[in-house]
Amino acid sequence: MNKRITTSIFLATLMLVSLFAVVSSAASVSGTTMAGTGPAVTSWTKAGYLNILAVDANGALWNTSIAPSGNGTWNPLGGVCTSSPAATSRNDGGMTVFVRGNDSAVWFRDYVGGSWGKWTSIGGQIPAGTGPAACSWGASRLDVFARGTDGALWHKALTGTSWSGWQSLGGNLTASPAATSNANNNTQVFVRGTDGAVWQKSYTNSWSSWKSLGGQVAAGTEPAVSQDLWVIVQGTDHQLWQKAAGGYGAAWRAPGSPPETLATASPAATLNVEDHTVVAVTTTSGNVWSSAHDVTGNFTHWSSAGSPP
């Protein structure tokens, strides 16, 4: 009888230990990026390095800094993310990252003065499998774009300390948007349309109509764009393709892909301190790879940042 009680106590204790282990592991990191998500990449010109952000398999956000400075260590930023992150640097030396939360709304976190602020929701409802895009043309201006539940492009802006409401810009998206802007308040948004091609919408004092750039973007992925308007996509052949949307190149071409197989996830792009376009991608190993344009406009030198630990 005592033996049976002792055994029961032991089993109950073992179950509690096992339950604690399960709860603990749910809060730990996975060692790889979340399936279907790509990275975000920004260039901090004041600091002189590239910052890469990625979501681990448990939905937590991580960031790492790479060459020309930065030690390559992945640092936790927390959160509960359900999409690829979108990030934009600002001319005050700060950075803001946006994600889709587990409530389908858009959440952001600021990096200002050497430290990260808290996670804050700006509302909205984004379909599963998509995330926000963001850009900034000034220290006190942020523009956020997302695909709405109606398939249209939606926009929300921060001017100073006040957020606007969400505004529909129309269109019919099949993935997340990509966006960039410059100091002249010229904003460009790129999306994957229902025909699989890349479509562009521009803002200079007012929004333009939609314009097709052609190409074929792999299902489940969206375009990336750098500040000099190189548009980069994962094609239906699961290789990288690029097109200059700024008027100095018309044809889509393959600039090179990383040595590992691309995951079905979106690329990210930015300009580095040398004004070369940098692309970052996730591969099927879960690693994040990046490369900068060489003198021929190709991605020939790839570096792996690994994945969140």
For residue 112, the domain's CATH number is 2.120.10.70
Number of H helices and E strands in the chain, helices first, is 1, 25
- pLDDT tops 90 at residue 266: yes
Query: In the chain, which ranges are continuous DSSP H helix?
Result: 2-27
Residue 72 belongs to a domain: yes
Average pLDDT over the chain, rounded to an integer: 87
Output phi, psi for 247, to 5 deg. Answer: 100, 0
Of 51-60, 64-73, 100-109, the poorest mean pLDDT is in: 64-73
Which pLDDT value is given to residue 30?
A: 40
Q: Are 166 and 154 in contact (CB under 8 A)?
A: yes
Residue 120 lies in a domain: yes
The answer to whether 203 and 192 have CB atoms below 8 angstroms apart is no
Share of the chain above pLDDT 70, in %: 85
Q: How confident is the model at residue 4 (pLDDT cuts 50, 70, 90)?
A: very low
Q: Measure the CA–CA gap between 99 and 105, rounded to whole angstroms.
A: 8
Q: Which residues contact 236 (CB under 8 A, 6 or more apart)?
A: 196, 216, 217, 218, 219
pLDDT, residue 113, reads 84
Q: Is there a domain that residue 1 lies in?
A: no
In this prediction, residue 69 carries a pLDDT of 52
Q: Is the peptide bond before 223 cis (omega within 30 degrees of 0)?
A: no
- pTM of this structure: 0.87
The domain containing residue 42 runs over which residues?
A: 38-306
Number of domains in the chain: 1
Higher pLDDT residue, 113 or 148? 148
Residue 191 covered by a domain: yes
Cα dihedral 168, 172, 175, 178, rounded to 10, equals -50
Question: pLDDT tens, 9-67?
Answer: 333 333 332 322 222 222 233 458 999 999 999 986 555 678 999 999 999 999 998 76
22 in a structural domain: no
What confidence score (pLDDT) does residue 42 get? 93
Q: Would you state the pLDDT for residue 1?
A: 40
198 and 213 Cβ atoms separated by less than 8 Å? yes
Q: Looking at the domain assignment, is residue 192 inside a domain?
A: yes
Closest CA to 186 of 167, 205, 168: 205
Angle at 179 between CA 119 and CA 78, to 5 degrees: 20
pLDDT attached to residue 94: 86
Q: Is residue 15 part of a domain?
A: no
> Is residue 57 domain-resident?
yes
Cα separation, 179 vs 164, in Å, equals 18
State the burial class of residue 273 (Cβ atoms within 10 Å of its Cβ: 0-12, 13-18, 19+).
middle
Q: How many residues does the chain have?
A: 309
